Each structure stands twice: as C-alpha cells, then as structure tokens.
Amino acid sequence: MRNIITILICTIANFSFGQERNDIIQQRIEFISEQLETESIDLTNLLEQTQPLFVTITRFPRCENVNIDAFAVQNVTTPLGFCGSTIVNLFGKDSLTDCMQNLGYNTLFEDFNEINDISYFDKCDDEQYQNMTLFAYTFVKNIS
C-alpha cells in the first residue's frame, strides 16, 4: 500500500512538473512568434529575455580562415532558375562563441564533420571566406 501511494504521489508531481514545463515552453513559443511578426529576432535580446539553461545550434556555417564577420551577396537559384540575390553574413571563426560568452554561456559541446567541408561561396572575391565548416554547438548558462 505504501508503494502504491508513493508511486501515485510521484506520478502526480511528475505530471504537474511536466505541465508547468509545457506552459513555459508554450510561453516561449508565443514570445518568439510575436517577435517574428513585429521584427527580426536578435539573438542577444532573445537569450536575455528567455534565459535558457542550454542553447543548441546546429549547422552553423563558420569561416575557418578569418576572425571577423563579413557580408556577401549570394545569388539564389532553384531547379526553376535564378530567383534573385540576398545578403548573407559570413561568420568568422570565433564569432558565435565570443557572442555566447558575452551573454554568459560556456561552450559545452562543439562538433563538426570535417574542417572546410563546404564551399558555399567559391566565387567570393576574398578567398579566406570561400571555405566554411558546418558546426554544431551546445552552450550552457553560467550559474552564479
């Protein structure tokens, strides 16, 4: 009988914690949706307002041969043909990790397949920005 009561209490506590967690996630989704409707989302503001414990970023394109960010114009094409041009940000080697450190996060995990494994901008005038590596990161919030 005591075991059944213990299991019942744990189940109720787990359900209420799970519901509270779902409510928090729902609030964050609503916040992000509101931001998307009004303006573009700034990573700094988003992280300062939501304060997540962990942040995971996958497929982050990083230029290995440079230390500063740059902008470039990239032509967009599909199987149907040329669609137009867009301005893209070319991230320097430490751009994301420096930004996250300034926001109070430490790198917990960093992984990639192969250095310079993609060549998005092979026609870029500055050869340093031609080769990129897709990185996956997990950051953890400093708790003091």
Residues 36 and 50 in one domain: no
- Bigger pLDDT: 4 vs 79: 79
From residue 8, give the alpha-carbon distance in Å to each of 12, 21, 22. Answer: 6, 20, 21
Tell me the per-residue pLDDT of 49-82, one tens digit each, with 9 for 90 and over. Answer: 888 899 999 888 888 888 888 887 777 777 888 8
Q: Concatenated DSSP letters for 70-109?
A: EEEEEEEEETTEEEEEEEEEEB-TTHHHHHHHHTTEEEEE
Q: Residue 93 in contact with residue 54, Cβ under 8 Å?
A: no
Can you give the residue range of the structural domain that contains 1?
Answer: 1-41
Residues 75 and 135 both lie in one domain: yes
Q: Is the pTM of this model over 0.85?
A: no
Of 11-25, 43-57, 89-103, 128-142, where does mean pLDDT reach its minimum?
11-25
**109-144, pLDDT tens digit by residue?**
999 877 776 666 666 778 888 788 889 999 999 987
Domain count, the chain: 2
The C-alpha atoms of residue 2 and residue 47 are separated, in whole angstroms, by 44
CA distance 67 to 112: 18
